C-alpha cells in the first residue's frame, strides 16, 4: 500500500517530515528525531530520551501502560499526540513551532 504522502503528490522521498534526516518510522518520529527529543525534554515529565533504542516504540508504550501512574501515562500520550500534530502541521501547513513552544 503506497504511503498517503506520496499518493497525494506531497513528497518525492520518505525523509522524515520534522528533521529531514532519515526515512520516517514510528520509532524515529516518537523517540529518535531531534525535534521529538526536544518535545520530550520540554514536557512536564522532562524525559531526556523516552526509551532505549533496543525496544520498538510499541514495546515501550505497552511497558509505560503497565508501569507508569495513570497521570504520567496520560501525559506521555499527550506528548505523542503533540509530536504527531506538529509533524502534520509542518507537512500540510508548512508551520513549525519550537518544541518548547508546543509544550508550553
Dihedral pair phi/psi, residue 63, rounded to 5°: -65, -45
- 103: confidence class by pLDDT, cuts 50, 70, 90: confident
Paired with 15 in beta bridges are 23
C-alpha cell at 78: 499527550
**pLDDT, tens digit (0-9, with 9 covering 90-100), for 46-92:** 988 777 677 888 898 899 999 999 999 999 999 999 999 998 998 88
Query: Residue 79 and residue 85: Cα distance in Å, rounded?
Result: 10
Query: Residue 33 and residue 64: Cα distance in Å, rounded?
Result: 20
**pLDDT, tens digit (0-9, with 9 covering 90-100), for 2-21:** 445 445 555 544 456 778 77
Average pLDDT over residues 19-42: 85
DSSP state of 49: S
Tell me, what's the pLDDT at 20?
76
- 1: confidence class by pLDDT, cuts 50, 70, 90: very low
Tell me, what's the pLDDT at 2?
41
Tell me, what's the pLDDT at 74?
95
Amino acid at each position: 500500500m503506497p504511503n498517503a504522502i506520496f499518493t497525494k503528490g506531497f513528497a518525492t522521498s520518505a525523509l522524515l517530515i520534522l528533521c529531514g534526516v532519515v526515512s520516517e518510522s514510528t520509532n524515529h518520529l516518537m523517540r529518535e528525531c531531534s525535534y521529538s527529543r526536544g518535545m520530550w525534554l520540554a514536557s512536564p515529565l522532562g524525559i531526556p530520551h523516552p526509551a532505549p533504542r533496543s525496544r520498538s516504540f510499541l514495546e515501550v508504550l505497552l511497558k509505560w501502560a503497565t508501569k507508569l501512574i495513570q497521570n504520567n501515562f496520560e501525559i506521555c500520550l499527550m506528548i505523542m499526540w503533540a509530536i504527531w500534530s506538529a509533524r502534520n502541521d509542518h507537512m500540510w501547513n508548512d508551520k513549525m513551532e519550537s518544541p518548547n513552544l508546543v509544550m508550553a
